[in-house]
Amino acid sequence: MTDQNPDYRALAAMGLRDTFREVGWGFGYTSVQGPSRSLGDVFRYYARLDYVWHSADTDAVAIEIVDMPTGSDHHPLLATLAWK
């Protein structure tokens, strides 16, 4: 899902907080798909599809999108959270 998806808004409405939105930097792309045949072989599709959610009982300290080969088209996220 993206942050434009109704499910994203539903999670936020339940009180969960998006760690990347709080302490991340940049666009936060976690998925690189492509090249897209529908857009031509030149374009790739970049999106932030992966999230670390936390409750009000914790503070977001840091989050990093790890750039390492994993065999997946999604990058791992490494988040640091602290109890309040």
Considering its fold, how many domains does the chain have in total?
1
Burial readout 29-41 (b: 16 or more C-beta within 10 A, e: otherwise): ebeeeeeeeeeee
In a domain, 1, yes or no: no
pLDDT tens figures, 55-70: 999 999 999 999 888 8
Mean predicted lDDT score pLDDT of the chain: 88
Domain assignment of residue 76, given as a range: 6-83
In a domain, 46, yes or no: yes
In a domain, 26, yes or no: yes
pLDDT at 67: 82
Tell me if the pTM is above 0.95. Answer: no
In a domain, 79, yes or no: yes
In a domain, 23, yes or no: yes
Note the Cα 81 to chain centre separation in Å.
Answer: 15
